[in-house]
């Protein structure tokens, strides 16, 4: 708190963690400080002043292709809304006040020629390319032959919907459903979809997020194995592949040290790789350079082996 005893004027300030309550949710799609400053004055008439906003590196949230160097100062009041010294992600376009400089070495935003005390924050320019959806999880559960898909998002920007796709081999995909998205959000959202169409088998699932303007983003697939009579899982993805591919294996009898062998169509061993098999599902990335053709894969230890898996390279 600052006080002038002669004029009985005073200024109080405090730092509040989080996004300002009057900030538009679209602000989370760009860089910003993860707190704001409240400044309140008493007995001051039309002051014009300079303010220095100090921040620490851990308080900067990078998003939408923007980082610390894109920060602009902004101030809010109920009468003016958000104002800045320049373009910022949530400020009125064309309405500016004063001039500002950013010093990333000292972590300071200096804003001169400011009038009126209110709430201050740092926001990006809003000229980056925000991700339409930040997907934090995607999982599947089996229940009596049905597959229950669940996913979560922490933010959405102009998101239209999710297309749910299914595949037997991880290469050929079929759309099986659509789930509407929230559109714009900066909070945790939960989604689900139930596949009830003969799913007592191992299948891949993936999400295609569709933006309002039709732009699509494909997320990595997951594997759901609901074959209760054959609990082991042994498959490759994608199949066919072009360069690297993945193998997924769940065989209790192979827990421990094992070896992946790759043979070509003539039976010649063209690659092997030592593996550490853990209990449950194991996923390994295979970066073996293989010429186009058909290959056969097995994982084995001293006493047990998987069935032969056929894998194609285009």
Q: Of 71, 90, 123, which closes a domain?
A: 123
Q: Of 93, 123, 153, which closes a domain?
A: 123
Q: How far apart are CA 275 and CA 256, in angstroms?
A: 8
Domain count, the chain: 3
pLDDT at 6: 62
pLDDT at 231: 47
Residue 44: count of CB within 10 angstroms of its CB: 14
pLDDT at 2: 53
Does residue 68 belong to any structural domain of this protein? yes
Does residue 101 belong to any structural domain of this protein? yes
Does residue 128 belong to any structural domain of this protein? no
103 and 12 in a common domain: yes
Domain that holds residue 181: 133-225
280 and 191 in a common domain: no
261 and 218 in a common domain: no
Cα separations in angstroms, 191 against 29, 133, 135, 153, 206: 21, 13, 11, 8, 14
262 and 296 in a common domain: yes
Does residue 203 belong to any structural domain of this protein? yes
Q: How far apart are CA 310 and CA 239, in angstroms?
A: 9
214 and 138 in a common domain: yes
110 and 167 in a common domain: no
> Of 118, 117, 120, nearest to 44 (Cα)?
117
Q: Of 225, 251, 276, which closes a domain?
A: 225
**CATH number of the domain enclosing 288:** 2.60.40.1930
pLDDT at 4: 58
| pTM recorded for the entire structure | 0.44
154 and 100 in a common domain: no
pLDDT in tens, 77-129: 888 888 999 888 787 656 788 999 999 999 999 999 998 888 999 998 877 65
The encoded tokens of residue 264 equal 């070509």
Does residue 209 belong to any structural domain of this protein? yes
Low-confidence ranges of the chain (pLDDT < 50): 228-231
243 and 212 in a common domain: no
Cα separations in angstroms, 262 against 268, 308, 311, 314: 8, 10, 9, 16
The encoded tokens of residue 135 equal 């997907």
pLDDT at 223: 73
240 preceded by cis ω (within 30°)? yes
Strand pairing class (216-218; 233-237): unpaired
139 and 119 in a common domain: no
Does residue 212 belong to any structural domain of this protein? yes
212 and 153 in a common domain: yes
């Amino acid at each position: 708190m600052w006080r002038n005893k002669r004029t009985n004027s005073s200024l109080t300030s405090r730092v509040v963690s989080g996004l300002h309550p009057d900030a538009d949710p679209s602000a989370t799609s760009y860089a910003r400080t993860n707190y704001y400053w409240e400044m309140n004055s008493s007995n001051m008439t039309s002051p014009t002043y300079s303010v220095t906003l100090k921040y620490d590196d851990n308080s900067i949230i990078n998003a939408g292709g923007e980082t610390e160097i894109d920060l602009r100062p902004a101030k809010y009041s109920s009468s003016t809304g958000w104002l800045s010294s320049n373009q910022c992600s949530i400020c009125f376009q064309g309405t500016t006040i004063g001039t500002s400089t950013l010093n990333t070495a000292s972590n300071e935003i200096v804003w001169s020629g400011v009038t009126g005390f209110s709430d201050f924050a740092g926001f990006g320019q809003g000229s980056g390319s925000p991700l339409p959806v930040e997907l934090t999880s995607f999982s599947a559960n089996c229940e009596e032959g049905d597959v229950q898909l669940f996913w979560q998002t922490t933010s959405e920007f102009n998101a239209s919907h999710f297309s749910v796709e299914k595949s037997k081999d991880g290469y050929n995909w079929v759309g099986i459903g659509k789930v509407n998205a929230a559109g714009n959000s900066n909070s945790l959202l939960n989604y689900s979809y139930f596949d009830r169409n003969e799913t007592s088998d191992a299948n891949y699932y993936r999400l295609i997020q569709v933006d309002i303007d039709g732009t699509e983003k494909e997320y990595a697939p997951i594997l759901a194995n609901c074959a209760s009579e054959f609990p082991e899982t042994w498959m490759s993805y994608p199949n066919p592949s072009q360069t690297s591919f993945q193998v997924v294996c769940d065989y209790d009898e192979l827990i421990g040290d094992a070896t992946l062998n790759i043979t070509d169509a003539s039976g010649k061993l063209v690659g092997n790789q030592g593996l550490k098999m853990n209990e449950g599902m194991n996923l390994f990335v295979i970066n073996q350079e293989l010429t186009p053709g058909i290959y056969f894969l097995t994982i084995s230890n001293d006493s047990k082996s998987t069935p032969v898996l056929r894998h194609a390279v285009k």
